[in-house]
Amino acid sequence: MTRIKWNEFLIPYSQTVDELKLKFRNLRKEFLEKNEHSPIEFVTGRVKTVDSIKEKMRRRYITEDLLEQDMQDIAGIRIQCQFVEDIYDVAKLLHSREDMQVIEERDYIANSKPSGYRSYHVVIEYPIQTSRGQKNIIAEIQIRTLAMNFWSTIEHSLNYKYRGDFPEEINERLKRAAEASFMLDEEMSKIRGEIQDAQQYFTDSKRDINNSTKDKN
């Protein structure tokens, strides 16, 4: 019988997700306020459900005593980027921060999974302040492009239906879609400078229009 009081157990993980989302969104805002390209486009986060945690404990043979250290993705953050190069820039930013410590990295971009899955995973140790003092929480940050995220979201949805046992046709189509997605990222990287110039032009034009409207008022 479980000894874990789940509501109490998950509180620090919820706090971790909330704090990290705020910090990374503010980091994006800081880049934009300085009129610089932000390697961060979107930030989302979630805490694993109790059912999902229990299922993974059974599948990975994780005991309750080792749950906090052996299950690294109870608190999960997802950072979406425009370009593949941005992913590695974000990873460097994580290493440079003093409010968290990188303890593990897995590059599924340079070494994609057989399914076609691509993403960059960074596991961090993050200190939070609780009513009982400081507690270090392990969290996983997944960094991927918008195209990679689209593919992964679809694959994840299909996984619920087929429980990982995809029909061969679906499996092959997913692999081809993953390759097409990565080719899109590669093509966008080749014209990255043009894209960023166009985005900057749009931002400057919008700012000029807003300033003009304010002056008239």
| Residues 6 or more apart whose Cβ sits within 8 Å of residue 20 | 45, 75, 77, 126, 139, 141
Strands of the chain, DSSP E: 42-47, 75-81, 101-107, 120-130, 133-145
The per-residue b/e assignment along 104-116, b for 16 or more CB within 10 angstroms, e otherwise, is eeeeebeebeebb
Six-digit token string for 164: 């990982």
Q: Is the dihedral angle over the CA atoms 23, 137, 49, 79 positive or is it negative?
A: positive
Task: Report the SS3 class of residue 179.
Answer: helix
On whether the CB atoms of residues 193 and 160 are closer than 8 A, the answer is no
Give CA–CA dist 42/133, Å, rounded.
Answer: 31
- 124 burial (CB, 10 Å; 0-12 / 13-18 / 19+) is buried
Give the active site residue among 19, 105, 140, 194.
140
Left (φ > 0), alpha (ψ -120 to 50) or beta: where does 76 sit?
A: beta
Residue 140 is among the residues annotated as catalytic for this protein:
yes
- Catalytic residue set: 140
